[in-house]
Amino acid sequence: MRKSTVRILIFLNVVLACGLAWMWFDPDGQLKNIHWEAPAPRRADFASLVPSIGQAREGDVGQFVSTLDRPLFSPSRRPPPPVIVTAPPPPPPPDPLNNTQLLGLFAGAQSGGILARVDGKIRRIRVNERIGDWTIQTVKDRDVVFVRGNETRVVHLDRSRVSAPPAAPPVAR
């Protein structure tokens, strides 16, 4: 069996070699197609390369609109919902009483007022004067009443706790 397989392969190789020789050589024994011949010249047709720009057709616009109505890469094939942009509400103005520290009260025969640190500066503010949009309405005992429109705020002045002075170190003699 092995000898017959070898003989078949040798026969097949001989047949293929004869086929190649028939394709390469002509009947006179010369090689075929060894001389190159230039092809016939042809004029370039540049007009065929430029796409023709014709009139817009109604069908083209309709296809474009249908593409917008059914987006290709959207899973639901529905257009996205319209985006409604609303501006955030403006932040409320800062309350000037938040930056105010009540330092003391004063009262006179006809008017009174407060000593306060407002935005880092110590000011003397009388009754009916303003801190921002707050007005000092009254000063009574240790309370100050501020008014802004219909809103009222009462600030109480606490007594400060005075600690005893530190004991002096004994002097060595």
Q: Please report whether residue 134 resides in a domain.
A: yes
pLDDT, position 6: 93
pLDDT, position 13: 97
Domain interval for residue 127: 96-156
Q: Please report whether residue 7 resides in a domain.
A: yes
Q: Please report whether residue 84 resides in a domain.
A: no
Q: Among 160, 98, 93, 105, which residue's Cα sits nearest to residue 136? A: 105
Q: Please report whether residue 24 resides in a domain.
A: yes
Q: Please report whether residue 64 resides in a domain.
A: no
Q: Please report whether residue 135 resides in a domain.
A: yes
pLDDT, position 1: 67
pLDDT bucket at 75, cuts 50 / 70 / 90: confident
- 163, pLDDT greater than 80: no
Task: Note the pLDDT tens digit of each residue in 134-162.
Answer: 999 988 888 899 999 899 999 888 877 77
Q: Please report whether residue 102 resides in a domain.
A: yes
SS (H, E, C) the chain: CHHHHHHHHHHHHHHHHHHHHHHHECCCCCECCCCCCCCCCCCCCHHHCCCCCCCCCHHHHHHHHHHHHCCCCCCCCCCCCCCCCCCCCCCCCCCHHHHEEEEEEEECCCCEEEEEEECCEEEEEECCCEECCEEEEEEECCEEEEEECCEEEEEECCCCCCCCCCCCCCCCC
- 28, pLDDT greater than 80: yes
CA atoms within 13 A on the CB side of 32: 8
Tell me the pLDDT of the chain averaged across its residues: 84
Domains: count for the chain: 2
pLDDT, position 16: 97
pLDDT, position 5: 93
Task: Note the pLDDT tens digit of each residue in 3-18.
Answer: 899 999 999 999 999 9
Task: Note the pLDDT tens digit of each residue in 29-73.
Answer: 888 888 888 999 999 888 888 877 766 555 566 667 777 777 778
- CATH classification at residue 146: 2.30.30
Q: 125 and 131 in contact (C-beta within 8 Å)?
A: yes
Please, which residues have CB within 8 angstroms of residue 150's CB and are 6 or more apart in sequence? Answer: none
Whole-structure pTM value: 0.44
Q: How far apart are CA 103 and CA 105, in angstroms?
A: 7
Task: Note the pLDDT tens digit of each residue in 84-98.
Answer: 989 889 998 888 888
pLDDT, position 150: 92
pLDDT, position 37: 85
pLDDT, position 85: 87
Q: Please report whether residue 114 resides in a domain.
A: yes
Q: 31 and 25 in contact (C-beta within 8 Å)?
A: yes
